[in-house]
Amino acid sequence: MNKYPKVGIRPIIDGRLGGIRESLEDTTMNMAKVVAALFKQELKYPDGSPVECVIADSCIGGVKEAAACAEKFRDNNVGVSLSVTPCWCYGSETMDMDPLLPKAIWGFNGTERPGAVYLAATLAGHNQKGLPAFGIYGTDVQDLGDAVIPADVKEKLLRFAKSGLAVAIMKGKSYLAIGTVSMGIAGSIVDADFFQDYLGMRNEYVDSSEVLRRIQQNIFDQKEYEKALQWTKKYCLEGEDFNRSEKVKSREEKDKDWEFVIKMTLIIRDLMIGNDALVKIGYAEEAQGHNAIVSGFQGQRQWTDFLPNGDFPEAILNSSFDWNGIRAPYMVATENDALNGVSMLFNYLLTNTAQIFADVRTYWSPEAVERVSGWKPNNLAEAGFIHLINSGSATLDGTGRQTVNGKPVMKPFWSIDEQEAEECLKATTWYPANLDYFRGGGYSSNFLTKGEMPVTMCRLNLVKGLGPVLQIAEGWTVDLPENVHKVLDERTDRTWPTTWFVPRLNGSGAFKDVYSVMSNWGANHGAISYGHIGADLITLASMLRIPVNMHNVASSDIFRPSAWSSFGMDTEGSDYRACQVYGSLYS
């Protein structure tokens, strides 16, 4: 049963009976219905079902009808509130007063009735009462009753609804930390206050030994394991062992590693979301899971110094397919980097697509590339590029073997066909783990992301005294000549997946050049999503009161609550000041 939060739509009307209200009833309610139809057609939940809307039972002309609407919203799991009106109405009597619901107002741009006046008056009311709301107002004047939603209005409606639903879907879910801090990485020092205050999430923890316990005591679905083992043998190509001869494992040991990492995959998923099959074998408690929308696996080093690494479980879970067919990806952060896990989650909830987890590893200047490989970068790569690579935990969707009109893409799972899933698997080689890094063995995925995909890399960071900040870099994946890729790639680790990334530059600040992007990136990891979604991320961040400290999104595409403009004329400074004044959403 679909338990996702819904979008609540509030048709607002001039409450004066005796001629005015009556003349506007149909127009106002139809405006709400047109928006609901737009959302249902254009937006989907993570399971692929259409977004659902709840419309107030009547137009809202005063406080009694506003209260009745609020009660309906509470009873129907509404997580996002949108008010629409073609006319003047009574602002503070009809506005949405729920402090936790992301909210917006669409004031119709028409001359017959002053919808824009209501918009301005009620946004002022929201700002005065400390309830930030987004204002939506079309560029062009329309005729009263026009059922067409202009393109600029549609863009803002969809951006608001997508971001608001992301906020609502996260609320009440868990981040599951499997293990603790990995190799001193600050992002894996899980900050429970951040999750609670900013995301409305709770934190769950299990020791890594819980994974080992379940393997040793066979606390997993044996039938699914047998199915997964056969699927893995068929579709997961094992590569050459590059370890020194004295370290190479025997065939028997390697086969046992395969069995081990497949069981790890089942168990990490079960820890996240539960599995009713465990009830039948006497483990009803374990069957419940941790209600986790995102998780992280510590791995290094306490685990990987003596047991197979988590590369296979992480890569398969982060992908949109496995032995059970094509399905929604799970968000699993390498090295328990909770902040990159949240970054992946933001991207995922805005796009419904799998996410690439990677180190932001190396900036390659054109001069360095030419010196090392003899090739002078050109086209998208002419100003240099960034090597995104980490041990093989990145989603296999990141191979770029899914296509639209012959171009590489990453799709929501419901748009992927079996052939595309198989192509992603064929493009991936599973190398025996580098035993210098991973003393316990395992398998790391290796693939090369196809070039010319539009992508967005983001990263959430925590700064003492400031709180969370978000970084965003839109750009493209790029292709290098095969021999150049080989030379550069093998300077790092040839058993890991590679994405060559070029950010879009604007000639100033952090985006003056590719080096500056790398230099200003706030951590060792990044979350990479298909598509240019920076504007959506900025809107989402403003709802959560998280300032954006670095982005290359056009100013015309930035959409934040109306109140932000009251905090100064410098857009990014006003973002910081507004977030500081309003504080975290759930604190």
Distance from chain centroid for Cα 145:
37
Strands 402-404 and 321-322: unpaired
339-366: b (≥16 Cβ within 10 Å) or e: bbbbbbbbbbbbbbbbbbbbbbbebbeb
pLDDT of residue 143: 87
Could you read off the pLDDT of 438-469 as tens digits, one per residue? 999 999 999 999 999 999 999 999 999 999 99
Q: Is 221 annotated as a binding residue?
A: no
pLDDT at 543 over 70: yes
Give the separation between CA 414 and CA 416, rounded to whole angstroms: 6
Question: What was the pLDDT predicted at 99?
Answer: 96
Split at pLDDT 50, 70, 90, the class of 146 is confident
The confidence score (pLDDT) of residue 558 equals: 97
DSSP 50: B
Q: Does residue 105 contact residue 85 with C-beta atoms inside 8 Å?
A: yes
160 Ramachandran zone, left/alpha/beta (phi>0; psi -120 to 50) = alpha
Nearest by Cα to 454 from 503, 523, 506, 497: 503
User: b or e along 406-445 (b: 16 or more beta carbons within 10 Å of the residue's beta carbon)?
Assistant: eebbbbbbebbeeebbebbbebbbbbbbbbebbbbbbbbb
pLDDT score for 113: 80
Tokens in use for 256?
Answer: 């046992």
- 497 pLDDT above the threshold of 60: yes
207 carries a ligand binding annotation: no
41 has pLDDT over 60: yes
Other beta carbons within 10 Å of 451: 19
Amino acid 151: pLDDT: 96
Element (H, E) at 168: helix 151-170
Average pLDDT over every residue of 554-567: 97
How high is the pLDDT of residue 193?
Answer: 98
304 CB-near residues (< 8 Å, 6+ apart): 310, 437, 438, 439, 440, 442
Residues 6+ apart with CB under 8 A from 236: 312, 425, 428, 430, 443
* pLDDT score for 222: 98
CA contacts within 13 A on the Cβ side of 528: 35
385 contacts 364 by C-beta, under 8 angstroms: yes
Q: What is the mean pLDDT of the chain?
A: 96
Binding residue per annotation — 335?
yes
State how far the alpha carbon of 210 is from the alpha carbons of 206, 216, 264, 527, in Å.
7, 10, 10, 27
- Residues marked active site are found at 335, 359
Residue with tokens 């009809």: 94
How far apart, in whole angstroms, are the C-alpha atoms of residue 28 and residue 45? 27
Share of the chain above pLDDT 90, in %: 95
| HEC-encoded secondary structure of 187-234 | HHCCCHHHHHHHHCCEEEEECCHHHHHHHHCCCCCHHHHHHHHHHHHH
* pLDDT for the residue numbered 1: 45
What average pLDDT does range 295-321 have in this prediction? 97
Interacting residues of 500 by C-beta distance below 8 A, sequence separation 6+: 381, 385, 386, 387, 388, 449, 451, 477, 478, 479, 480, 485
The pLDDT confidence band at residue 121, using thresholds 50, 70 and 90, is: very high
Q: What is the pLDDT at residue 114? A: 77
Residue 2 pLDDT grade (very low, low, confident, very high; cuts 50, 70, 90): low
Alpha helices of 462-559 — where are they, by DSSP H?
A: 482-489, 514-520, 534-543
Q: What is the arithmetic mean of pLDDT over 233-260?
A: 97
pLDDT in tens, 169-179: 999 999 999 99
Q: What is the pLDDT of residue 287?
A: 98
Read off the pLDDT of each residue in 101-106 and give the average, rounded to a whole number.
Answer: 98
Averaged pLDDT, 316-324:
98
Name which of 392, 403, 402, 413 is nearest 330 in CA terms.
413
Q: Are residues 539 and 157 in contact, defined by beta-carbon separation less than 8 angstroms? A: no
In percent, the amount of the chain with pLDDT more than 70 equals: 100
Maximum Cα interatomic distance, the chain, rounded to a whole number of Å: 92
Which pLDDT score is estimated for 154? 98
Taking 80 as the threshold, does the pLDDT of residue 277 lie above it?
yes
**Partners of 175 in the beta sheet?**
203, 294
